Amino acid sequence: MSQEISDEALCRRVAEGDEQAFDELVTRYQGRAYRIAWGILREAEDARDVAQDAFVRLYEAAGRFRGEARFSTWFYRIVVNLCLEHRRRGRWWRALVVRDVAERDGARLDRLPAPAPDPLDGASQAQLMTRVWAAVEGLSSRQRAALLLSVQEELSTSEIAAVLDCAEATVRVHLHRAVMALRRSMAETG
Amino acid sequence: MTADGPEHVELAFVPYLRGELPRDERDTVETHLAVCPPCRRGLAETRALLDAVRRAPAAPALDVGRFRAGLEARRRRHRPAWMRPVPALAAAGLVAALVLLALQPAPRDADDHLAAVQETVLGARLGLLEQYPVVERLDLLEDMEVIGALDGLAATGS
């Protein structure tokens, strides 16, 4: 399938039952969906599950995509909503079990970012990243989602507002509080 | 806006760094920064933090093959019931019922009505035929018919 076909056109084809178009959208967005989900959930397995669910929802809801926003914004909204729902469902019991087992086994690799690809990054850089991500983990789900969509996915404030279904001013507040919390956390651990 | 008052410009740091502020707001921020060392320090910290978050490789690597297999399994589970594959047992039962019907002798004209009734009754019992152990033992019933016929022959012969 040609790369020239827009995401929006592919989504319309999916609404008509075009499996090949669906496959192409999965190829284009699987990495991003997983990355966003992992950023919010910080569990690789949960992130995979949510990203897969997001594509199932996409397939079922493609007919409701009106094309008023970009496809990416619409799809990110599905992903983020599923992440927030996932966290709301309250997995406190699971967190206890997983944490207990993982800490006993010393196997919390899934919660850690992948190693930095830049070989010039030294140990201090790695330590800094570990601290940053520990601080990010302390943010609320919405703050984290706003921050990651802004910084890593480079969405504009208005796009983030569309994804989170809130006002742009609210996004600014989320971002401000996220940054303030990170600064406080970094200062405390520094 | 004052340097030491409550109206610092921290709320605008992220959109300012991302170049999203309209001209007048950006001018306001820069005017404030020029006279507010705490906000300048805060802006520098914010820039460094955002850079760190941006550069941090986010997620552990995604196994694409496993992801696609999981997605396909999820899609199968979400399909409406009528689109799912017929369970093997039910299919076997249906095939057995059809075979039995095909093996029935052609009804004579006089028995057309009776045959139709039999088919209706058999159709109502298809659920029973879906139970494999029942289907599996149908040949025993045929054997019993043969034994019964042999007994009849033996009786007339003696």
* pLDDT tens digits along A87-106: 877 555 555 554 444 444 44
Residues A101 and A105: their CA atoms lie apart, in Å, by 6
> What sections of chain A are H helices per DSSP?
7-15, 19-41, 44-61, 71-88, 92-105, 123-137, 141-151, 157-164, 168-189
Q: Based on the fold, state whether residues A182 and A121 are members of the same structural domain.
A: yes
What is the residue-averaged pLDDT of chain B?
A: 72
Per-residue pLDDT reduced to its tens digit, A16-55? 999 999 999 999 999 999 999 998 888 899 999 999 999 9
Interface probe with A: pick from B8, B51, B55, most Cβ of A within 10 Å? B55
pLDDT in tens, chain B (158 residues): 444 454 788 889 999 999 999 999 999 999 999 999 999 999 999 999 898 888 876 678 899 999 999 999 998 887 765 555 555 556 667 677 777 777 766 555 555 665 665 666 555 555 554 554 544 455 555 555 655 666 666 555 54
Q: What's the pLDDT tens digit per position in B79-109?
A: 765 555 555 556 667 677 777 777 766 555 5
CA torsion angle A16 A19 A21 A26 (round to 10): 130
Question: Which one of A82, A151, A159, A172 would you mutate to disrupt binding with B, by most B Cβ within 10 Å of its Cβ?
Answer: A151
Residue A129: pLDDT band with limits 50, 70, 90: confident
Does A22 share its domain with A78? yes
Stretch 67-86 of chain B: residues touching chain A, C-beta under 8 Å: 67-68, 70-71, 74-75, 78
Q: Which of A125-139, A167-181, B81-95, B96-110 has the highest mean pLDDT?
A: A167-181
Is A48 in contact with B20 (Cβ distance < 8 A)?
no
Of all residues in chain A, what percent carry a pLDDT higher than 70? 80
Same domain for A62 and A137? no
Do A86 and A22 lie in one domain? The reply is yes
Dihedral of the alpha carbons of A108, A114, A120, A123, in degrees to the nearest 10? -20
Alpha carbon distance A64, A102 (integer Å):
41
Please indicate, yes or no, whether residues A123 and A80 belong to a single structural domain of this protein. no
> Which distant-in-sequence residues (6+ apart) come within 8 Å of A168 by Cβ?
A157, A158, A161
Residue B155 confidence (pLDDT)? 58
Could you give the dihedral angle defined by the CA atoms of residues B107, B112, B113 and B114, in that order, rounded to the nearest 10 degrees?
Answer: -10
ipTM of model = 0.70
Q: Is residue A77 very low, low, confident or very high in pLDDT (cuts 50, 70, 90)?
A: very high
**Could you give the number of structural domains in chain A?**
2
Q: Is the pLDDT of residue A12 over 80?
A: yes
Cβ-nearest to A152 among B42, B54, B61: B54
On the question of pLDDT at A107 being above 90, the answer is no
For A28, residues 6+ apart whose C-beta sits below 8 A from its C-beta are A7
Distance CA A11, CA A67 (A): 9
> Is A104 domain-assigned?
no
Within-domain flag for A107: no
**A68 and A18 in a common domain:** yes
- Beta carbons of B14 and A53 less than 8 Å apart: no
Please give the pLDDT value at position B130. 53
Domain carrying residue A59: 1-92
What pLDDT does residue A39 have?
86
> Does residue B122 sit at the A interface (CB-CB below 8 Å)?
no
Q: Residue A179 belongs to a domain with what CATH number? A: 1.10.10.10
Please give the pLDDT value at position A88.
79
CA distance B83 to chain A (A): 14
Domain boundary, last residue among A92, A126, A157? A92
Across the interface, which of A26, A116, A182 has its CB nearest the CB of B49? A182
> Is residue A98 in some structural domain?
no
Greatest alpha-carbon span in chain B? 127
CATH code assigned at A49: 1.10.1740.10
pLDDT at residue B135 in the model: 46
Averaged pLDDT of chain A: 83
Alpha-carbon separation of residue A169 from A73, A159, A165, B157 (angstroms): 18, 12, 12, 104
The closest of A34, A80, A113, A25 to B63, measured between CA atoms, is A34
Q: Is residue A44 within 8 Å of A109, Cβ to Cβ?
A: no
pLDDT score for A143: 93
Q: Does pLDDT of A119 surpass 70?
A: no
Does residue B107 or residue A161 have the better pLDDT? A161
Please give the pLDDT value at position B57: 65
Same domain, A47 and A131: no
Q: Are residues A132 and A76 in the same domain?
A: no
Residue A105 belongs to a domain = no
For the cut 90, the answer to whether the pLDDT of residue A83 exceeds it is yes
